[in-house]
A and B are shown apart, each in its own frame.
Chain A
């Protein structure tokens, strides 16, 4: 199964907004509203921040938002803070035999 495509890195200054893209196919992102996003700090387990394209779990800041258009999903982080510096992964349900597929990950640097 091919991984979803994410940019390797993005950066932004505190207070700014950034967007991370996640491109799949009609077998995953394009055909299903089961896109999720995860934040992972070094040495820690991933943490779910968005599920079902745009839903936030309880306790996740509303500075995190998700959307989808066609085969591409996006994560937007507004009002960047130093603590947002982390790796971010997208994931989607896939009609392949695996059930789920991840993107390659994006390293966010807060300048």
Chain B
């Protein structure tokens, strides 16, 4: 059974940093592109970042480019999102998802990030 479990969310002040983690199990993690998707309270979904297998290619939404860094540790079946220079508009539930044909095939339960003073 595929499982994705996010962690690392919390309350952070504007300008602060946070590192999200996603622990994967139930599939060969190294073989799949992985994505981060977020959802601000009461709003729609936003594709945040993607990382291909072997970290060959990395993609970011314009809204987070230069501030967020996606990475993966295939030995530990883990996906990460380092978030720096956080803004109020980054407040959202962050989901990690396993990709298949550029769709988010499996989702985690999400972790809430709140940016507020």
Contacts and interface: CB of A to CB of B under 8 A. Distances in A.
Given A52-B101, A99-B50, A105 B107 contact: no
Contacts of B106: 48
A46 interface: yes
B88 interface: no
A48 B106 CA distance: 7
Contacts of B35: 100
A69 interface: no
Contact of A36 (B95, B102, B110): B102
B110 A89 contact: no
B1 to A, nearest CB: 12
Contacts of A32: 102
A2 to B, nearest CB: 11
Contact of B62 (A38, A57, A98): A98
A30 interface: no
21 contacts: A32-B102, A34-B103, A45-B108, A46-B107, A47-B107, A48-B103, A48-B106, A51-B101, A89-B45, A92-B102, A97-B59, A97-B60, A97-B65, A98-B60, A99-B47, A99-B59, A100-B50, A101-B47, A102-B44, A102-B47, A105-B45
Interface of B: 35, 37, 44-47, 50, 59-62, 65, 95, 100-110
Given A34-B103, A99-B102, 15 more contacts: A36-B103, A36-B104, A38-B45, A45-B107, A46-B107, A48-B106, A51-B101, A89-B44, A91-B104, A97-B62, A98-B59, A98-B61, A98-B62, A102-B37, A103-B44
